[in-house]
Structure 1
Amino acid sequence: MKLSQRVLSALLLISFILAATATSEMGLAADKVCKTRSDRFSGVCLSNNNCAIICQQFENFDSGHCEFDGAFRRCLCTKNC
């Protein structure tokens, strides 16, 4: 009887882990973010705020941020895919 309770507990724990993993994977697919280099931002990107403004107002993206592209920081525009 003791062994069957341990087996049942282990199976229950595994099922919870699998359910949590499946739920988190579904959330990741819905929250996928696409990013592309800004066409309008010129120069080295030093301010995430300035980058986001350019991306939102002039390029119809949700947001933007500075990120290293090789040796330079570039403005990358982002939106949900």
Structure 2
Amino acid sequence: MAQSRRMAGSALLLLLLLVATEMGATTVKVAEARDCLSQSHKFKGTCLSSSNCAAVCRTENFPDGQCHTQNLARKCFCKRVC
């Protein structure tokens, strides 16, 4: 009889820990950073390769760059976290 009480107590403790863990996980809010884009001033021509665009953007003190279509033309846009 004493062993079944210990087993029931252990099961109850495990259940409470599981519920507390799940409740804590649902109340955590994560903020995601936005990316700001700026058209490159040094990139010339049609942007066909995002790696080339990123290399030019690094010369403009941006960490990254990507090709985007704007007005039916592919242009290089430099990107950084706002």
Pair in the same fold by TM > 0.5: yes
Greater per-residue helix proportion: 1
Q: Using structure 2 for the length normalisation, give the TM-score.
A: 0.65
1:39-54 correspondence runs (5 A):
39-54=41-56
- Which amino acid letter does the alignment assign opposite residue 50 of structure 2? N
Determine the C-alpha separation between the residues in 2 that align with 1:76 and 1:64.
6
Q: Secondary structure of the residue that 1:43 maps to in structure 2?
A: coil
List aligned pairs for 1:2-81, cutoff 5 A: 16=26, 19=27, 23-24=29-30, 27-28=31-32, 31-57=33-59, 59-81=60-82
Q: Which runs of 5+ in 2 are unaligned?
A: 1-22
**Alignment partners' CA distance in 2, 1:51 and 1:65:** 6
Any idea what the Cα deviations from partners look like across 1:26-69, whole Å, max 9, x if unmatched? x22xx111111000001110000000000002x10010000101
Describe the SS at the equivalent of 1:64. strand
Give percent identity, aligned residues only. Answer: 34
Runs of at least 4 residues off by over 4 Å: none
